[in-house]
Amino acid sequence: MRLSHITKRFGANVAVDDVSLDFAPGEIVGLVGENGAGKTTLMSIAAGELAADEGTIEDPVPVGIVHQHFLLVSEFTIAENLALAMWGRDAGEIIRESGIELRDVSRRVADLSVGEKAKLELIKAIARRPRVLILDEPTSVLAPTEARELFDVMRRLAATGTTVIFISHKIPEVLEVATRIVVMRRGRIVVDGGTMSATELAEAMVERRSDSPVRPLVNTPRHVSSRPGSAGRTGESDLRFHPGEIVAIIGVAGNGQSELALSLRDSLRGRVAHIPEDRARDGLVAEMTIAENIALADRHWRPRAAAERAAALIERFNIRAQSPLQRAGSLSGGNQQKVILARELERHPEIIIAAEPTRGLDIEATSFVHDELRDAAARGAAILLITSDLDEAFALGDAIHVIYRGALSPRLTPEEAAVRAPQLMAGVA
């Protein structure tokens, strides 16, 4: 089977950008990349669940896909769920043939462990005897021993000539099981090869805007006091950041960054600014005006005063809006981000938690956001920058932590991080 020049757009967003890929029988392909890189979209197209805007699938073969989210009827038993998938065949026989262990088919799916549900999904897919089997993040819900079992099943299937495609962002797993590794970034394939080291793989996955190694730090002298701005605890290391300092947290997406930001939102008190990672969902109330959004956390609400203040901020932050009474949802992504920034920084926060503050922004908007964060630090704010953009981390961070599987590395200087970050991000240090 061969995917030829596949392109898929969602609105203005290009999810898959002119991708060609072919699969040979017996391969275990590790398809890796960050969230939003286009892996799942590409595979849904390969499985025929989604139509491509451009491009064709040549020599199509039966494709099975196991989604990250279970498609099971939880009120039904294992046997009933299998009957839905393969009517008329004996459930026990289907399971035996798949080579996966799952006992007692009369149990209700609702009572199964997550690992068992994952197995059941896999059994359903294998029962249809696909020539290409796609597994979307199958190990994210599995315990390590269950993951081992899954890898054995994958190898057995490959040995019988099935192509197994394994979507993941867990580097050690991919290195362990894949015979071929394909890395996607921003809808394109950036690496397609056999063996790679963990470091090479980590570097390929994480975005770098320029090829220059580490940019020299632009550090204006800052007042640094010894009073800790805040202390949170994630995994093994303490997280401390001080007034006037920017601490960057880097890592491959999905290693606990979102959970960290969420726990800080719910635990920190005082003048704290939050720039949420998921701008579309958490950033602004799309149905309300810019002025209303900016005034959300204010003590008072006076429409006219708020509109005047919003107009001033629109001017200062160079937001492209017609009026402060424009609906926030009608602004472009970059301008929405500036509204969030305007609202959060206007409070003169003591602590700023900025998650992916420049994701999806153009160069001009990015450097604007960076300048604002630097200025805020210069005014004495303690800033925690959670980012998957290494350049951003090195350009802004006075200190760097690497986050891997929910645990933070010790605090590193940027120089140390430049050397050690790739291994730490890959979990091989």
Partner 1 sequence: MRARQLLIAVLAAFSAVALLALSGLAFGHGELLSILISGSVGSTFALEGTLLKSIPLLLTGLSVAIAFRAGVWNIGGEGQFLAGAMGAFLGARYGMIAALAASLIAGALWASIASALRLWRNAPEVLTTILLNFIAIHLLGYAVNGPLQEASGKYPQSDLASASLPAIGELHLGVVIAVLAAIGAWFLLYRTAEGLRLRASGFNRSAAKWAGVNVNAQLVRAMAISGAMAGLAGGIELLGVTHRLFERFAAGYGYAGIAVALLAQLHPLGTIASSLFFGALTTGAGELQRTAGISSTVATFGQAIVILVTIVFTRRKIA
Residues that bind partner 1 (CB under 8 A): 265, 272, 274, 276, 281-288, 292-293, 295-303, 327, 343
Q: Nearest approach, Cβ of 396 to partner 1 (angstroms)?
A: 21
Specify whether the CB–CB gap between 247 and 238 falls below 8 A: no
Specify whether the CB–CB gap between 168 and 33 falls below 8 A: no
Residues in the chain: 429
Q: Nearest approach, Cβ of 218 to partner 1 (angstroms)?
A: 30
**Between 75 and 287, CB nearer to partner 1:** 287
Closest CA to 52 of 5, 12, 7: 7
- Bridge partners for 387 per DSSP: 250
**Between 150 and 385, CB nearer to partner 1:** 385
Measuring CA to CA, how many Å separate 205 from each of 304, 308, 337, 361? 48, 44, 25, 19
* Block residue for tokens 């190990």: 139
Specify whether the CB–CB gap between 251 and 257 falls below 8 A: yes
Q: Nearest approach, Cβ of 390 to partner 1 (angstroms)?
A: 25
The burial of 292, by beta-carbon neighbours within 10 Å (0-12 exposed, 13-18 middle, 19 or more buried), is given as buried
Q: Nearest approach, Cβ of 259 to partner 1 (angstroms)?
A: 15
Measuring CA to CA, how many Å separate 121 from each of 62, 65, 79, 115, 127? 17, 9, 12, 10, 10
**Between 149 and 282, CB nearer to partner 1:** 282
Closest CA to 202 of 278, 152, 136, 255: 255
* Block residue for tokens 């390590």: 144
**Between 99 and 303, CB nearer to partner 1:** 303
- Bridge partners for 30 per DSSP: 166, 181
Q: Nearest approach, Cβ of 369 to partner 1 (angstroms)?
A: 17
**Between 277 and 389, CB nearer to partner 1:** 277
Give CA 63 to chain center in angstroms. Answer: 26
Q: Nearest approach, Cβ of 281 to partner 1 (angstroms)?
A: 6
**Between 227 and 304, CB nearer to partner 1:** 304
**Between 303 and 410, CB nearer to partner 1:** 303
Q: Nearest approach, Cβ of 336 to partner 1 (angstroms)?
A: 11
Cα radius of gyration rounded to whole Å, the chain: 24
- Bridge partners for 354 per DSSP: 275, 385
**Between 89 and 271, CB nearer to partner 1:** 271
Q: Nearest approach, Cβ of 163 to partner 1 (angstroms)?
A: 40
